[in-house]
Amino acid sequence: MGSLVLIEDVVNDCGKPRALVARPVAGFTADNSWANPPEATGDSAAAVPDTADCTSRITFNLTKALDLALLHHDSRLWIEVRVPDSKERDPGYGRLLYQNDFTFEVTLTNTPPTAATSRSTLTRPTRIATRQTC
């Protein structure tokens, strides 16, 4: 499981519902900006708050994005956090995020291989040491 966790510090209008999304994107380049973001490479994940408070610790489940990056042997997973395009021009949806508290939490699950792997057996005899006392 892969989760992006961050903290909202300031909210412009607590009457507006939380609309932040996180989505995997192609790597950022010098050509990218807020008006020209990198291309999305996967589905957006909605923010899940820890509390119903106006500001909260929020989590985005990015397991699908992480699984896809691992499948492609990518060395990085680029994530964009933003307000959806339809709400972008409304300042009421604005949020200030605590920039030093972004964390990506990964839970790894060990699963057996789908096909048998080559096995080896230890063939040398085991020595047992004995000691006599008189």
For the stretch 64-89, pLDDT in tens is: 999 999 889 898 999 999 888 888 88
Q: Is this structure's pTM higher than 0.75?
A: no
Q: What is the pLDDT of the chain when averaged over all its residues?
A: 85
The total number of structural domains that make up the chain: 1
Domain that residue 49 falls in: 2-106
More confident residue, 79 or 127: 79
More confident residue, 106 or 123: 106
For 18, the 3-state DSSP assignment is coil
Q: DSSP secondary structure string, 88-123?
A: TT-GGG-EEE-GGG-EEEE-------SS--------
34 in any annotated domain:
yes
Contact 79, 63 (CB under 8 A): no
Instruction: Evaluate whether residue 129 is within a structural domain.
Output: no
Confidence (pLDDT) at 8: 87
Assess if residue 113 is contained within a domain.
Answer: no
Is 90 a domain residue?
yes
Q: Is residue 114 part of a domain?
A: no
The pLDDT of residue 50 is above 80: yes
Domain membership flag for residue 21: yes
Query: Is residue 48 a part of any domain in this protein?
Result: yes
The answer to whether 42 and 68 are in contact (CB under 8 A) is: yes
Beta strands 78-82 and 45-46: pairing type?
unpaired
Greater pLDDT, 62 or 99: 62
Q: Is residue 132 part of a domain?
A: no
- Rg from Cα positions in the chain: 24
Sign of CA dihedral 57, 61, 62, 66: positive
